[in-house]
Amino acid sequence: MSDWTPSSWRARPAGQQPTYPDEPALDRAVAELSTLPPLVTSWEVERLKGQLADAAAGRRFLLQGGACAERLDQCTADVITNKLKVLLQMSLVLTYGLKRRIIRVGRFAGQYAKPRSSDTETRDGVTLPAYRGDLVNGAGFTAAERTPDPDRLLRGYEAAALTLNFIRALVEGGFADIRHPEYWDLEFVEHSPRAREYQRMVESISDSVRFMEILADAHVSEMSRVDFFTSHEGLHLPYEQAVTRRVPRRDGWYNLGTHLPWLGMRTCELDGAHVEYYRGIRNPIGVKVGPAMTPEWLGELVEVLDPGREPGRLTLIHRFGVGRVASCLPPLVEAVRATGRQVVWCCDPMHGNTEKTADGIKTRRFDNILGEVEASFDIHHELGSYLGGIHFELSGDNVTECIGGARGLAEADLRRAYESRVDPRLNYEQSLEMALLIARKMATRNGRQV
Ligand code: PEP
Ligand code: CO
């Protein structure tokens, strides 16, 4: 890595970067960011890498989830608590169904920068810079809001720190009593033909948790303490560079702004700035893989990003859509296998299944999301590889952004509580139901009744 530095990406073309009108102000913000204490530590990062190595080998399973784009105005106790709660409950359900330990990774505490298909947006003849996430500019359609503002880099970092601080405190403090059925909002279950089955699973999980606690003589939250990791798309390179640090007694450089940064699908050109940045950091890294990815490209990408063939280094997050996963996935699994690497394969069933309603609202269908997850389990199984994780855009609140699920959310419901400014998320009930259905499928495959 002698030719790599945290800023060597600057010699390459960098996609998806905002254009700041005041460059010296950007430099000042980045300089200040570089002096602030890190959000995470290298030993947490290494611990996650070790756990991901286990997932690659089929011994653990990754659950990654959270907002498409976090919002600064939603850095609130309720939003954070509810997100943590749904991720925790989903992970218990998955532990039960998959009989694997779950690695919990949030899309939170830093998921503030978004790639966009166009640099600008035009409304009624007025053209302004596109909204690129709260780290960059505001969503409101005015010149003042849309002008990229470097101070937002500091505000985003501060909000990430507040979020993570609260998450750490909740997890350390026992959080909430997940054994109590009333803590599980299961009203939606009544609307499902599977109501009894869902109830039975949740009761059985609660029993198992109680049983475990008796054996271990500890509260379950103490047994799995702080195993909540953070992740975000490491898109804004000046920001990522500023949080890239050396640590005493370890070699190399760590991105200490998050545990698991991922490389988005729009910025994974081999000779691009993002690949250059990612190849040099010591973190485990995620790579989004979409239908445009060829086997040759992926083969080269994994060589560049993981020259040391390090266990746990790469998590390949595939997102093809329910209709394309069967044709797109197998050649890529073969291409990676041909390099001799064991990666974590993780299914993102959200980004290939986005559609627009007749009214122009972005949505996704519960059945298509579930369909891509189920197909992915089957395809990996047939290929003799292992699906080691799932990646969701979700909210812990009862937003109405995706269609379907037990309560039968329809197109007409979408306007009621649509809060996302970017992609539609599963709500609390849909997320939990998704986990129950995945657990049910996998338990049934393994010959167990649920
Ligand atoms: C995302 O995860 O929100 C995203 C933009 O994904 P992708 O790069 O896969 O399109
Ligand atoms: Co998204």
How does DSSP assign 14-30, residue by residue?
-TT----S-HHHHHHHH
CA distance linking residue 408 with residue 405, whole number of Å: 5
Is residue 3 domain-resident? no
Share the mean pLDDT of the chain. Answer: 94
To the nearest whole percent, how much of the chain has pLDDT over 90?
A: 83
Q: Are 92 and 178 in contact (CB under 8 A)?
A: yes
- Which residue has its alpha carbon closest to ligand 1 atom 2? 68
- 393 alpha carbon to ligand 1 midpoint, in Å? 10
Cβ 115 under 6 angstroms from ligand 1: yes
Cβ 425 under 6 angstroms from ligand 1: no
CA distance linking residue 427 with residue 388, whole number of Å: 23
The answer to which of 195-209, 246-260, 305-319, 323-337 has the lowest mean pLDDT is 195-209
Strand-pairing partners, residue 262, are 233, 286
Mean pLDDT of 404-409: 94
- 9 alpha carbon to ligand 2 midpoint, in Å? 24
Residue 351 in this model has a pLDDT that exceeds 50? yes
Q: Which residue has the tokens 């966009």?
A: 116
pLDDT at 120: 97
Is residue 1 domain-resident? no
pLDDT at 231: 98
**Which two tokens mark 238?**
């000046």
CA distance linking residue 47 with residue 202, whole number of Å: 30
Mean pLDDT of 289-316: 98
pLDDT at 226: 47
Is residue 450 domain-resident? no
Mean pLDDT of 30-53: 98
Mean pLDDT of 127-131: 98
**What number of other Cβ atoms are within 10 A of residue 30's Cβ?**
16
- Which phi and psi (to 5°) does residue 434 adopt? -55, -45
Is residue 237 domain-resident? yes
Q: Which residue has the tokens 């501060």?
A: 158
**How do residues 353-363 score in pLDDT, each as one tens digit?**
999 999 999 99
pLDDT at 224: 53
**How do residues 165-190 score in pLDDT, each as one tens digit?**
999 988 877 665 666 666 777 788 77
- Which residue has its alpha carbon closest to ligand 1 atom 3? 68
Range of the structural domain that residue 45 is part of: 8-445
In which band, very low, low, confident or very high, does the pLDDT at 450 lie, cut at 50, 70 and 90? low
CA distance linking residue 24 with residue 1, whole number of Å: 30
**Three-state DSSP class for residue 402:** coil
Torsion angle of C-alpha atoms 106, 325, 116, 265, degrees rounded to 10: 70
Q: What is the CATH number of the domain that holds 307?
A: 3.20.20.70
Is residue 151 domain-resident? yes
**How do residues 411-443 score in pLDDT, each as one tens digit?**
999 999 999 999 999 999 999 999 999 999 988
Mean pLDDT of 87-99: 91
Global confidence as pTM: 0.96
Is residue 2 domain-resident? no
pLDDT at 220: 66
Number of domains in the chain: 1
Mutation probe of ligand 1 site: the residue of 288, 320, 328, 391 with most atoms within 8 A of C-beta: 288
Torsion angle of C-alpha atoms 260, 263, 264, 265, degrees rounded to 10: -130
Residue 40 in this model has a pLDDT that exceeds 80? yes
